Structures are given as structure tokens and as C-alpha cells.
Amino acid sequence: MRSFFSQKQSNFSTIRLRVPVGIIYVEQLDALKEVAARYGSGRLHLTVRKTVEIPGVANKDIPRAIAQLASVGWYSSAFGDNIRNVVACPGAYSCPNAQVDTQSLGLEIDSNFASEEDLPAKIKIAVAGCPNSCTHPILNDIGIIGVTRVKVLQDKCERCYICVEDYCRENAIKKSEEGQVIIDPEACVDCGECVGKCLSNALVAESRAYRIFVGGKLGRHPQIGTYLADILTIPEVVDMVEVVLAVYKKYGQPGERLGELINRLSMERFRQLVVDYRKQKVKVACAQLVY
């Protein structure tokens, strides 16, 4: 795994450190400061994927600097055809809009796949806790968004219609011809903001899920990811990421991003490959249990 890149200035490099989901612990800061002051130019750089760069390190000092950083849990390997630093918003840890736990999921993905090798090209993964999508998941190879499906408990509804006027900025809460309150599935973005607002407790969460998109990317030829599935739990999402990576490894050509593979095969075919691989995986797991 690559840990640094050569700068324009000969004999100098920049070390890039992985910062899974952007969490830095205070005890890591002393080592970061010391290495940047001793070996670097005294300056740090924060990247768009929440990694930390130490520029201006003389090539001869790179091994010592990396060893000192690793001793307090600063790892590199944030380059090349690997799983790039996993990005996640604060989610349920601190954001009032969050529908899911983003940071546990991001850390779980990072610990399971950070050392993945033999990928056709880089894979970028981002998690957002709600459809506000602060981490831009649909512009990542694998993007995950926390969503809430809302339902109306008709037996509790008092038909005051305050919700129709006030509770949804997408105007997705509507009054039917029969006077029932209904959720318009075309307009609803599953943000969950209306849940709990009804004083009669008639607007409730039917389910909370991680919504997965695949094939998004930025760069010279940007494209938006395509919906793959809604998944309920963190272990199931990790399982799905494993399947997507396995299909990508098997069918991707060298240098081909996931979105380009999907364009070449079609989303329908890619989805079928994912379904087939999952079935195969379950079969193997069952066989292992039996024997």
C-alpha cells in the first residue's frame, strides 16, 4: 500500500494518513504535531476525503516518520487501487437530522476492507446519516444514505391536517379524497423529519435503513451512483459491500472504476451478478455449517 507521494520538489514527499470516518483522538495529535515539526515543513493539509497530509518530508526521513506515526495509530495506505479513506458524517453520534449510525458503519467498513488488494481501480465509499447527503454519497463508488420509511397510523390520526400544511418541506404529506392523511411515495425522500411531530403520534417510522448506491464518481467524467438496495443492519451492509467488491474484482478490467464497469455491463446485469454472488455465498456458508 502506498503511504506517500513524491512532490514536485525533488527529494521531498508528502505523507498521507488514513483517518477513518474523520475521527481523530486527542492522544494522536502530539505525534502528528511532532512528526510534522521534525520531519515536515511544519504545516498540515486536510484533504476532501478527511485524510491528513504532512507535506515537505525529506525522502530519507519517510520510514522514521511513518514508524513514529504508526506507533500511535496513524496509518497511511490512502493511495492507489485500494479502498480509499472511508468518509462518514457524524450521523447519530451528534447530528439532529441523522436517521442511522454512520460512524459505526464507516469504521466497520474500514476495518473489514481497508487492506483489500487486487482491485481494478480505487474504490471510494461515503456514508451519510440522512438524505441531506453532506458527504456526497452518490458521487462515490459505493454511497450509503440513512433513510426512514414513514407510515400514518390511521386509527390514531385526528385529521387536524397540520402535518399536510407544516411538517414536510417536500409536500409529501397529503390529504386523500376520502380525507385520509397519506404519504406520497413520489415526493417523499424518506428523511424522517416528520416522525414524532404529530401530537397524536400518528406519524411513525415504519423502518430505518441504509440505502446503497453504486457507481458514482467525480473526476474528469463524473457520474451519479445508481440505487442498489435498502439494507437494515450494519452487518448486512458490510456483507453487501463485500459482495459488490467481489463482483467488481471478478468482472472489472484494470483501471476501470466501478461505475464504468456498471456502464459496460448495464445495471440490470450488475444487479444480477450481485444477487447470484450472494446466493452462492449463502450456499457456501450453509455447506460449511453442515460439514
Question: Which residues form the interface with ligand SF4 (CB under 6 A)?
Answer: 89-91, 95, 97-98, 128-130, 132-134, 150, 152, 157-163, 168, 170, 172-173, 181, 183, 188-194, 198, 200, 202-203
Closer CB to ligand SF4, 158 or 276, in the complex? 158
* CA–CA distance, 73 with 70 (Å, rounded to integer): 5
Query: All 3 cell numbers of residue 141?
Result: 463508488
Q: Which is nearer to ligand SF4, 52 or 173 (CB)?
A: 173
What H or E segment, with its residue span, contains residue 69?
A: helix 62-70
* CB 46 to ligand SF4: min, Å: 17
Instruction: Kindly state the smallest distance separating residue 86's Cβ from ligand SF4, in Å.
Output: 14
Nearer to ligand SF4, 34 or 230 (CB): 230
133 and 265 in contact (C-beta within 8 Å)?
Answer: no
CB of 106 to ligand SF4, least distance (A): 11
159's torsion region: left (phi>0), alpha (psi -120 to 50) or beta? left
Residue 209 burial class via C-beta count within 10 angstroms: exposed 0-12, middle 13-18, buried 19 and up: buried
Task: Report the 10 Å Cβ neighbour count for 67.
Answer: 10
Measure the CA–CA gap between 112 and 99, rounded to whole angstroms.
23
Helix (H) or strand (E) holding 147: strand 142-152
Tell me the one-letter amino acid at 72. Answer: V
Q: Which is nearer to ligand SF4, 170 or 256 (CB)?
A: 170
Number of residue whose CB is nearest ligand SF4: 129
Nearest approach in angstroms of CB 132 to ligand SF4 is 4
Nearer to ligand SF4, 166 or 276 (CB): 166
Nearer to ligand SF4 among residue 82 and residue 99 (C-beta): 99
DSSP string, 77-111: --SSSSBPPPEE--GGGT-TT--S-HHHHHHHHHH
CB of 167 to ligand SF4, least distance (A): 6
If the CB atoms of residues 32 and 89 are measured against ligand SF4, the closer one turns out to be 89
- Smallest gap from residue 73 Cβ to ligand SF4 (A): 25
Query: Residue 180 Cβ, how far from ligand SF4 at the closest point, in Å?
Result: 9
Helices (H), 88-229: 102-113, 162-166
